[in-house]
Amino acid sequence: MKKFLVLCAALLAFALASLPASAALTVDVTQGNAQPLPIAIPDFVPGGGGDPAAGANIAGVVRADLERSGLFRPLDPKGFVEHVTNINTVPNFQSWRSITAQGLVTGQVTQQPDGRLRVDFRLWDVYGESQMLGLQFFTTPENWRRIAHMVSDAIYERITGEKGYFDTRIVFISETGPAIKRVKRLAIMDEDGANPIFLTRGDYMVLTPRFNPTAQMIAYMSYIGAKPRVYLFDIETGRQEMLGNFPNMTFSPRFSPDGNSVALTLETAGNSDIYVMDLRSRSIRRLTTDPAIDTAPSFSPDGRQIAFESDRGGSQQIYVMNADGSGQHRVSFGAGGNGTPVWSPRGDLLAFTRQQGAHFTIGVMRPDGSGERMLTNAYHDEGPTWAPNGRVLMFTRVSPGGRDSQVWSVDVTGRNERRVLTPGSASDPAWSPLIQ
Amino acid sequence: MSSNPSPTRRKAAQPAVRRASFTRQRPTTARSQPFGIFGSILFHGLILAAAFLTFQRNLSTPEDSHVVPVDLVTVADQTNVAAQAPPTPPAPEPEKMDMPTPPAPEPIQPQMQDVEPAPEPPVPKFDIQKEKKPDTDKPVEKPQTKKEAQQDFAALLNKLTTPDKAQKNVKPGPRVIQGVGAGTMMTADLADALKSQMYRCWSPPTGAPDARDLVVDYDLNLNPDGTVARLQMTPSTAAQAAGNGYTRAAAEAASRAIYQCQPYRLPADRYNVWREINPLRFDPRQMMQ
């Protein structure tokens, strides 16, 4: 009897377990259509005082920023049905939906009595009919571009969930003159190509500039005195100094994430090895001792590991070691030679340059060497640098024959490859962190 | 082998013993006849139920992993079975949904604070006249014709031979077949129809770290005209979105897709089946392989 009841109970439980949890229809959407988000950004309305064109200028920069990212499609203001005159009223969402906008940005620019510019903006979800974001910035009027970039960053972060990168700068090598007498100068500009400034006069060749974590200092290699050495350049003061007085050449510098030390390559007796210099004590510590060429160090964002390139295995490949030099192991096993590893600020990927015959291309892989993906497929792309959000890369693209070099950018997905506008030929870009 | 024949012999002997004891116990069982009959009915019923439900699940169409663009046609337009009963009167047209123009609010004094979200302004809501839900529990009283009675019997037979999910999940309304194609009551076609209408609007987040794991679930209620009546993240997705900007972005991208692609064209006579979709899952894993 008992056994029978237990059996019945078990059967009942089995039958109930077979029932679905819910009575509703279930649907799995597994395919989508990755496309930029249509967003309407009318000119910011004037709130009184100041330059009447400021609102249009700021909105123009925001539109250009978002369009450049490849994730947004700013709609042509000529097609707008609603004319925004007051940002403190709820928009007529139906009219924005009618022009296919999914996001809407309304803003206002006001000159304060103290002369400062006040920029208010709101980001609206057109389909959800709700405000997603509302912020206010104050700045001096000449700083309006930075405010526009900050607005772009805020919108980008709210929509994508990751930090923006528009309020950043690019340091690069500007190249002018004929190929046999090339003048290479250190230059800096905003991420969108605005405000380019030369930092050095071109008396000496400069290479491989790198920002420190506060974007105030640049480490680079220069041939001052016909010997390549690593120098530090203070952007604020324009002062430059040689990093250590070594008898032989130093090159390929890279700041640690805390900015307190620089990893670099020091050549002694024909052997290149990686060292770390403490910028406060100027003490130096050797990390690699292999007789092969070890160079191009790059810290992981937590500062615990360093990726570098070495030809100790017979060909140029990427290796990873602990920050104290222990645990050196090879991570790249793909075709051809792989070098110039750069650790993503997100920590999830290493960008690198692959050389196969005469071709150089940019790729990414996980720090353990898995998940390798090539992002570009041109004749000669090299020297990747990450946007501070780890989402976009810039690199140098050299034309066949090497006559011209340009800076290009590509999304980490391999999409949205486009040229970065620089004054003249340019190479060796380094992307700054978000400006504080 | 030959040195140890006894186990085999014992095994062979056991059934005989059991049979013998069973035979002996028969009178005993017969004495407790009432319990035995009920028990037996219950026992067999449960076996049948378990088998039915188990095999029903196994037989159900597996979820398709690819999107098949489906041009949905109403059953009344094209059918492969002759109508056996007068068609049901057309479903009442839903009240025209007026999008209220946001009342021009009094100009609000700017209240935005430095790096703080502005106050939520009044947000106009969809003023949807909810259509009275068809009461599936109380079928409309209708004099049943002989033809209808035959058809009901045929439907019952069909039900026994082709078990399906929809019947399991939904209480059917008044059963009037109006010329149905194959598999009308299956849900896979509805899921495909929805998928094919949603996929073009869904732009999944790419480039985020572990973007392929940003799977989000919604509970979607639809109006009979295919517009969104209510949309809510499932509790698990809401919890993840609250703590992770990437998940929130993924959930918002899915929400935009759901709103953008409405109204959904689905067979009106099966509104009971697609009234609620839960979970409506947006899963980018296949796209990012």
Residue ranges for chain A with pLDDT beneath 70: 1-23, 436
Contacts of B208 in chain A (CB under 8 A): 160-162
Q: Contact A11/B286, CB-based, under 8 Å? A: no
CA distance B62 to chain A (A): 12
List the single residue in B50, B66, B124 with the smallest CB-CB distance to A31.
B66
Buried b (16+ CB within 10 A) or exposed e, B230-247: ebebbeebbebbeeeebb
Q: Which of these ranges, A165-174, A332-341, B33-42, B140-149, has the smallest mean pLDDT? A: B140-149
Substitution target from B120, B123, B137, B185 for chain A, most A beta carbons within 10 A: B123
B24 vs B14: CA distance, rounded Å: 15
List the single residue in A11, A25, A346 with the smallest CB-CB distance to B187.
A25
Q: Where are the beta strands (DSSP E) in chain B?
A: 216-222, 228-233, 276-282
Measured between CA atoms, the residue of chain B closest to residue A15 is B50
pLDDT per residue as tens digits for the range B161-212: 444 443 444 444 444 444 444 444 567 888 888 888 888 899 888 778 778 8
Domains of chain B: 146-282 (3.30.1150)
Q: Contact B107/A89, CB-based, under 8 Å? A: yes
Contacts of B284 in chain A (CB under 8 A): 30, 32
**Mean per-residue pLDDT of chain B:** 61
pLDDT per residue as tens digits for the range A54-71: 999 999 999 999 999 999
A345's CB contacts (< 8 A; 6+ apart) are A301, A386, A387, A388, A389, A390, A433
A103 vs B256: CA distance, rounded Å: 10
B65's CB contacts (< 8 A; 6+ apart) are A30, B286
Substitution target from A4, A26, A27 for chain B, most B beta carbons within 10 A: A27
Contacts of A82 in chain B (CB under 8 A): none
Q: Is the pTM of this model over 0.80?
A: no
Contacts of A415 in chain B (CB under 8 A): 206
* Interchain CB contacts (distance < 8 Å): A and B: 209
Measured between CA atoms, the residue of chain A closest to residue B35 is A1
pLDDT per residue as tens digits for the range B85-116: 344 444 444 343 333 334 433 433 333 333 33
CA distance B86 to chain A (A): 28
Residue B115, token pair as written in the block: 């790096």
Secondary structure letter of residue A339 according to DSSP: E
Contacts of B227 in chain A (CB under 8 A): none
Q: Contact A346/B207, CB-based, under 8 Å? A: no
Contacts of B271 in chain A (CB under 8 A): none
ipTM: 0.81
* Inter-residue contact A100 to A76 (CB < 8 Å): no
Domains of chain A: 37-160 (3.40.50.10070), 169-431 (2.120.10.30)
